[in-house]
Structure 1
Amino acid sequence: MLLRLPKSVSEAQECLSEGAVPIGGATLVWAVWQRDGFPDQAVSLRDVPEANVVGHEALGAAVMLNQIGDPLPEVLRRAAASVGTGAVRRTATVGGNLVGSTLRCLLPPALVLDARCTVLGARSLYETDLAEVVAKRHVLLSLHWKEPIASGYRKFSGEAGGEPPLVVATALHADDEGGRTRLRVAVRDGYEVISDSTVYDTDGDADTEQILDDLRGTEIGSLHATAWDVIGEEVATLMARSGGRHPRE
């Protein structure tokens, strides 16, 4: 197998147009290739600058999980730190986790950040949402979002060989309508990820119970009692941290 290491977006597109298979951090595809056979050529984005950006509102697909720290939002930092072992985090990439993994540990954080995706096509770059990238397994170049007011993350312990553990990610955002705040919640329950949001008046007395009641009217409301216990705790903590207003993390 020929591993190609382009140094620019145009070189990466050339690799894709010639049939090179994206390899990410190779933590997941390597075992599959050993079983099913290796492709003639693979491509890594690790030398492409746009795929290695780390900023408070952007994250490249080639960034390794152990590189996710300040100034990124807390929800991303805590999610990345909870993935696998230190050895895995030193190899696994953002793009591989979101697109190549069935666990998708970074998907709930990305959803509550309302992240948009820059996709690398063989002939063009374009922006789309996470749902399309995950469903169609596009080649992710980077994620972009608006900085949240505050965010949080909680992951249960899982059993070896069992289903992925429950994950609850939360974030508060200044809503497009002035004077309002949007609460976003994403839950990984088994292999399924559900996300939705609700808004409340920032300048009023934000009532956590009312906000949770409003959230129950969304797709999140279909989750089981255990998940809702955690959602309630996480939302209450996030509201207390933010004071219902707009402090930064």
Structure 2
Amino acid sequence: MLLRLPTSVSEAQECLAAGAVPIGGATLVWATWQRDGFPELAVSLRELPPANVIGREAVGAAVVLHRIDDRVPDVLRLAAATVGTGAVRRTATVGGNLVGSTLRCLLPAALVLDARATVLDADGVHETDLAEVVAKRPALLSLQWRAPIASAYRKLPAEAGGAPPLVVASALHAGDGAGSRLLVAVRDGYDVVSGATTGDTGTEQALHALRGTALGDLPDAAWEVVAPQVTGLLEGRGNQDSPRLPG
């Protein structure tokens, strides 16, 4: 297998046009390749500057998870900190987790940040939503979002080899002159569902409104996590995402 390490977007685009297979930290694909055979050509974005940004409102796809710290909103930082072991987090990347993983541990956090994705294909760079990233698995360059007022994250314990642990993420965003907006996303099994409502009507009304979204089909066990997290966020006990200097 020939691994290309482009240092510019145009060079990365040429690699994709030549049929190179994008890889992140290769933590997920290596065993599959050992079993089924390695591709002739692969491309890693770890030397590409746009894929290595990290800050208050963006993170690059090539950023390894152990580098995600308090420069990003708490919901994303906490999500990254719960992925695998320390050894995995020193190798696994944001792009590999979102595009190459069936668990997509970072997806609930990205959804409540209302993140947009910058992706690269043989035709060039374009911006898209997370739904396309999940469905089409493009070469992800970076995620961008508007920093929230506050955010929260919880992953429940789970037995090794068992069902994926329940994940609940939430974020409160400033509105564009029309009040605040509350976003909640839950991974239940391998499925991720999300919902949104205003954050200005009070906790009880917000929870009632969220039950009218796709979140309403979640089991009671999931709502036992959602309800207190939303309550803490709206009543000021959630993680307050105060601005920090970019890293």
TM-score between both structures, scaled by the size of structure 2: 0.95
Q: Are positions 1:165 and 2:159 aligned together?
A: no
How far apart are 1:123 and its partner, in Å? 2.2
Q: Is the 8 A contact 1:150 1:242 kept in 2?
A: no
Cα distance in 1 for partners of 2:7, 2:50 equals 10
Q: Which residue of 213, 216, 222 corresponds with 2:208?
A: 213
Structure 1 runs not aligned, ≥5 long: none
Amino acid at match of 1:140: L
Q: Are positions 1:134 and 2:134 aligned together?
A: yes
How far apart are 1:247 and its partner, in Å? 7.7
How far apart are 1:200 and its partner, in Å? 3.8
Equivalent residue, structure 2, for 1:237: 232
Q: CA RMSD in A?
A: 1.4
What SS does the aligned partner of 1:163 have? coil
How far apart are 1:196 and its partner, in Å? 1.1
Segments of 4+ in structure 1 off by > 4 A? none
How high is the sequence identity, in percent, across the aligned residues? Answer: 69
Cα distance in 2 for partners of 1:247, 1:75 equals 9
Equivalent residue, structure 2, for 1:33: 33
Equivalent residue, structure 2, for 1:110: 110
**Deviations 1:214-244 (CA, angstroms, capped at 9, x unpaired):** 111111111110101100010011112279x
Cα distance in 2 for partners of 1:56, 1:238 equals 19
Q: Is the 8 A contact 2:4 2:42 kept in 1?
A: yes
Equivalent residue, structure 1, for 2:150: 150
**Deviations 1:151-200 (CA, angstroms, capped at 9, x unpaired):** 00000011111111000000000123x14111000000000000110014
**Deviations 1:19-76 (CA, angstroms, capped at 9, x unpaired):** 1101110000100000000000110000000000001000000000000002100000
**Deviations 1:93-135 (CA, angstroms, capped at 9, x unpaired):** 0000000000100000000000000011112100000001111
Amino acid at match of 1:88: V
What SS does the aligned partner of 1:14 have? helix
What SS does the aligned partner of 2:229 have? helix
Q: Is the 8 A contact 2:109 2:170 kept in 1?
A: yes
Q: Is the 8 A contact 1:149 1:242 kept in 2?
A: no
What SS does the aligned partner of 1:180 have? coil
Which of 157-166 and 111-120 deviates more? Answer: 157-166
Higher relative contact order (CA 8 A, sep 6+): 2
Q: Is the 8 A contact 1:13 1:122 kept in 2?
A: yes
Q: 1:50 to 1:247 in 2, by over 3 A?
A: closer
What SS does the aligned partner of 1:188 have? strand
Q: Are positions 1:224 and 2:223 aligned together?
A: no
Equivalent residue, structure 2, for 1:188: 187
